[in-house]
Amino acid sequence: MTRTLRPTNSGIATALKLIAGLGNPGPQYARTRHNVGADWVRELAEEFQIALALDSKFKAEIGRGSIHGHDLRLMIPITFMNNSGDAIGAVAQFYKLSVAEILIAHDEVALAPGVVRLKNGGGENGHNGLKSVRARLANQDGYNRLRIGVGHPGNKSQVNHYLTQQTPPQDERDTVAAAGRLSQTVLGAMLAGEWQIAMTALHTPDQAPQDKALVSPASDEAAAGQTRANDASGEQDGI
Active site residues: 34
How far is residue 167's CA from residue 34's CA, in Å, rounded to a whole number? 10
